[in-house]
Amino acid sequence: MESTPTWIQASLGNPRRAALAALLLATSCTCGDGPAKISSAPSEPTSATPAQRGSHGPRFGAVARANGAELPLLPDRPTEAVPTEASFSLEVDRRIEGLQLRLYDENYRLVPSSDSLLLDISSTTYRLTPSEPLAGERRFTLAVEGLSSGDERSQAEAPRYRFRTAPRK
């Protein structure tokens, strides 16, 4: 694993960190003329949102999980066809004790859900499961909340993940 960056090597023993490392690696590609080039350390995505700018702020990775599959959610573009029975997970590359993930419907009403916050020394995982399957063919927003000024981010810059659910089966 000589050519594997050390920040990925350190993540390979932990599945949650490995998934976050893969997401960070995917966002560290720089695209220009010709094929994408992958840097050896995380860098800013080329289409950085305010929540992704800067080298000192937390980095986020969100996924929808259903039927054993994971669908990455991106803060800069809506995701289509998220299964109505999906649960959601947010990984952050640092410990943030007050972090919350909230799910809102297209009328910006809070969707009832159960959630859990897992804190590690250097990471945070937030899991959210809606109390009932989501309505089909509707728009939803996952909003990151609970960031403080100590996190070098204001709440206005926190990522929001927009998605549309697939038709109900």
Per-residue confidence (pLDDT) for residue 97, from 0 to 100: 86
Per-residue confidence (pLDDT) for residue 13, from 0 to 100: 56
pTM assigned to the model: 0.65
Question: CA torsion 90→93→94→98, rounded to 10°?
Answer: -20
Render each residue's pLDDT in the chain as its tens digit; 169 residues: 444 444 444 545 555 555 555 554 444 433 334 433 333 333 333 333 444 444 467 889 999 999 999 999 999 899 999 999 999 999 999 888 888 999 999 999 999 999 999 999 999 999 999 999 999 999 999 999 887 655 454 565 789 999 999 998 7
Per-residue confidence (pLDDT) for residue 72, from 0 to 100: 96
Q: Is 75 helix (H, G, I), strand (E, B) or coil?
A: coil
Residue 34 structure tokens: 């010709």
As a residue count, the chain comes to: 169
C-alpha 137, offset from chain centre: 22
Nearest Cα neighbor of 6 from 27, 25, 30 is 25
Cross-strand bridge partners of residue 118: 125
Per-residue confidence (pLDDT) for residue 156, from 0 to 100: 59
Per-residue confidence (pLDDT) for residue 164, from 0 to 100: 97
Q: What are the two backbone dihedrals, phi and then psi, of residue 104, each rounded to the nearest 5 degrees?
A: -120, 145
